[in-house]
């Protein structure tokens, strides 16, 4: 399934014992609809409050699937902040998480307080004090590196902190008072995008120097002033799979 969600009211994607998550809500509705216990496997694990405009998940069922009927019914059962856009059959060898070759995130902050998209942007009150040139240089440094231990939440148990970055750039629209950070990689560590965004903002406001950023990448040490920006401005925007496993038509 290809889906999207507003993560404001959820403790992330992955099911947890004492919190409501996107995975749990979808599993419960599908289980009722299919009249069988249904477990879904997601393409990643977004944190609490993080959104997704493109997310993929898979499930198995012993019953024949009428895709259009299930899609219509499950969307009527789901809350308004979760939408399943497509249902389609995939090869057995596709793994929603490990088969993905690239993921893209966008972080959005605004100069002015907004109303309609207030849940999806970070209103940054010091916008006018940001050094755009320095921030662009900081984003470029990210793209030049592949080891990201300084930008991973502590206590994360993974074998490697290596991530291959294919995009790290800013789009700045001073007329609209809007800054967006675009970052793509083969994988991301826990909390990585929010820590990278916080670093770029700290460089922009002068509390972290570019030399410090280069040094922590070299030494794989933590910044003295690291900052995980609020989750509300972050969204998973794109997930890519090999074309032999997933038809590109399902990715758009």
- For the stretch 95-142, pLDDT in tens is 999 999 999 999 999 999 888 888 999 999 999 999 999 999 999 999
User: What is the per-residue pLDDT across 135-178, written as a single tens digit (0 to 9) for each?
Assistant: 999 999 999 999 999 999 887 778 899 999 999 999 999 999 99
Mean pLDDT in residue range 31-47: 94
Q: Where are the beta strands (DSSP E) in the chain?
A: 2-5, 40-42, 51-59, 82-86, 102-110, 122-123, 165-173, 178-185, 234-240
pLDDT at 247: 83
Told to judge if 92 belongs to the known catalytic residues of this protein, a careful annotator would answer: no
Domain 2-98 belongs to what topology?
Answer: Alpha-Beta Plaits (3.30.70)
Mean pLDDT in residue range 71-84: 97
**Out of 6, 47, 131, 173, which one is annotated catalytic?**
47
Give phi and psi for 57, each to the nearest 5.
Answer: -145, 155
Q: Which two tokens stand for residue 179?
A: 């800054």
83 vs 250 pLDDT, higher one: 83
- Tabulate helix, strand, coil % of the chain (nearest 5): 30, 25, 45
Written as one string, the DSSP assignment of 71-125 is: HHHHHHHS-TTEEEEE-----TT--TTTT--EEEEEEEEESS--STTTTTSEE-T
Q: Which two tokens stand for residue 31?
A: 């289980």
Cα separation of 43 and 176, whole Å? 33
| Distance in angstroms between the alpha carbons of the first and the last residue of the chain | 12
Looking at domain 102-237, its CATH class is alpha beta
Task: Kindly list the domain boundaries of the chain, sorted by start residue.
Answer: 2-98, 102-237
């Amino acid at each position: 399934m290809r889906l999207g969600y507003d993560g404001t009211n959820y403790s992330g994607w992955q099911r947890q014992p004492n919190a409501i998550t996107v995975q749990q809500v979808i599993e419960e509705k599908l289980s009722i609809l299919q009249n069988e216990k249904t477990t879904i496997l997601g393409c990643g694990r977004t944190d609490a409050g993080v959104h997704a405009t493109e997310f993929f998940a898979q499930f198995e069922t012993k019953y024949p699937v009428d895709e259009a009927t299930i899609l219509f019914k499950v969307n009527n059962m789901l809350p308004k902040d979760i939408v399943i856009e497509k249902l389609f059959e995939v090869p057995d060898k596709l793994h929603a998480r490990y088969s993905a070759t690239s993921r893209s995130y966008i972080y959005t902050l605004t100069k002015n307080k907004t109303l309609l998209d207030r849940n999806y942007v970070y209103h940054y009150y010091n916008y006018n004090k940001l050094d755009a040139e320095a921030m662009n240089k900081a984003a470029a440094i990210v793209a030049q590196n592949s080891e990201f231990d300084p930008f991973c939440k502590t206590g994360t148990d993974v074998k490697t902190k290596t991530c291959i970055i294919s995009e790290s750039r800013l789009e700045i629209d001073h007329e609209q008072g809007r800054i967006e950070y675009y970052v793509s990689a083969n994988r991301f560590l826990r909390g990585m995008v929010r820590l990278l965004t916080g670093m770029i903002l700290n460089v922009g406001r002068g509390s972290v120097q570019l030399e410090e950023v280069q040094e922590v990448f070299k030494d794989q040490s933590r910044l003295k002033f690291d900052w995980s920006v609020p989750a509300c401005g972050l969204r998973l925007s794109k997930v890519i799979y090999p074309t032999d496993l997933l038809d590109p038509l399902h990715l758009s």
